[in-house]
Amino acid sequence: MKFAPDITEFVGRYTAVWNEPDPEIRHKAVTELWAEDGVEVIESAEYRGRAALKTRVTRAYEEFVEAGAFVVKPSGDVVAHHNAIMFTTVMVPAVGGDIVWTGSIFVLLGPDGRIQHDYQFAVTSSATHTTAHEFLRRLGEGDPNRVAELFAETVDWRLDWPDEGHPAVPWIRRRSTRADVADHFRMLSDFHLPGKHTGVAPEILVDGTSAVVIADIRQTVRATCRSYVARCALRLTVEEGLITRYHVYEDSLTVAQALATS
Q: What is the pLDDT of residues 14-23, one digit of tens each?
A: 999 999 999 9
User: Can you tell me whether residue 144 is helix, strand or coil?
Assistant: helix
CA dist 148 and 59 (Å) reads 23
The number of C-alpha atoms within 13 Å of 205 and in the hemisphere containing its C-beta is 7
Are 220 and 226 in contact by the 8 Å Cβ rule? The answer is yes
Low-confidence spans in the chain with pLDDT less than 70: 1-5, 124-125, 195-201, 261-262
pLDDT at 204: 81
Per-residue pLDDT reduced to its tens digit, 86-101: 999 999 888 877 778 8
Helix or strand (DSSP H, E) at 99: none
Name the region of 219 (left: φ>0; alpha: ψ -120 to 50; beta: rest): beta
pLDDT at 141: 81
User: Can you tell me whether residue 64 is helix, strand or coil?
Assistant: helix
Report pTM: 0.57
The strand pairing partners of 207, in sequence order, are 210
